[in-house]
Structure 1
């Protein structure tokens, strides 16, 4: 599959953020629920006075209620449309988009760029507080309230055993034809001065519900209901465990998407499309 842009079109990279509270996720849905993709595509069509909708490709298809601070997408626009609207596109989108989604940058993408397949990692943050008073009212839409005191050191110890390339089937909702093999590059917890505990999770890619399931398992370690080695045992079992709680989406934010040097974009895109298998398995 090629990432070459059709003749007469320009690939445009969009950097954006949104509050996921009132969205039914990123992707357009047949049932007509409000989605981030739909809002941006409709705004692009309006501000460029186009008769057709130009479809976005996104780095991470976030679920309903999940936020994004560092989301990346691309769209292929006709050269004439881009030439006419490039300089004023951001300002016009700001006037057309609802206040819970913003586009911060719109620029011509380098050759070989694909917002989804060229990415080398995505970084999420999940925020939770175990303060007995609850969540700061100004942060209530972005921080999970947890009713039990949490041991951050225990959660970090458990998290270390999950790093590396594994089949994360135990922590993912399986999708037909999709692999659940992922490389978890970083997973760590830190409590700040205000008492908010943030899990930082970075991987080459994530399967459905992976971050929220990992967080749920580690919270059970932090509150003492499960031993430190339990999340790793669940991972090794390779099947969904009913004891793994998928935490609520509002504590989760896509913080950053990283890409390689321009000359490696096309190579990375081809590489990411290959289905992976673990050593010795012979299949995906």
Structure 2
């Protein structure tokens, strides 16, 4: 009897292990399809763009193409110069920090690509931070939780927030690719500043300015990164209990805390950028937060 029970337990464990292995394989396959490394083959990148925008099915792997003349006007020169005043920027700081301090007074930048207009009955605007090479993530979002249309009868719109990418794909111009993607989906909002970590605050400021001027009809807005999953149905259901005219700000709120002073950290903040002994006020995690208009 004991031997039989042991065999039953063994077969159950083997079955559970087999199922777990199969699920892991499926998840790895999905992950490879949705999030591929930057050094992966151009053919994979080309296949995604061919799927998302038919224009690229006519372009060879080694060829290039330009949009029709007059379709887009791209202004590459920044309208803001480095601060040449009396402020002295410490030379001991890393170069990226010096550049940030030199241009921190810059607030407004030209818009290179704009999405379609916001509808008058727009209920929820999904604003997702992305960058040019993450075309696979944008394709996944358009087909899943970011799909534009209606959820529970309420209109939802998707917009990707981007700067000028400094990444390169051999033999192709990422800006041209992005222009054609914008033409296909009309859901890209791009500014003329470098799409780097230190310019994330400029995306926030630029989005809030555009939101108030060009999309004030939206009752709510949800900000997120392009590597997160959101149950948009639950999000809309949560919002039905709130009125847009009332103040709402929801997300993972950080309590007042000290800046990170560890130079090896991605989030290192020197005293030249934020004074010693001063706490940050409460702020939401940038991965996702919800607000009323």
Question: What TM-score comes out, normalization by structure 1 length?
Answer: 0.24
Higher relative contact order (CA 8 A, sep 6+): 1
Rg: which structure is higher?
2
Question: Going by fraction, where is strand more abundant, 1 or 2?
Answer: 1
Question: What TM-score comes out, normalization by structure 2 length?
Answer: 0.24
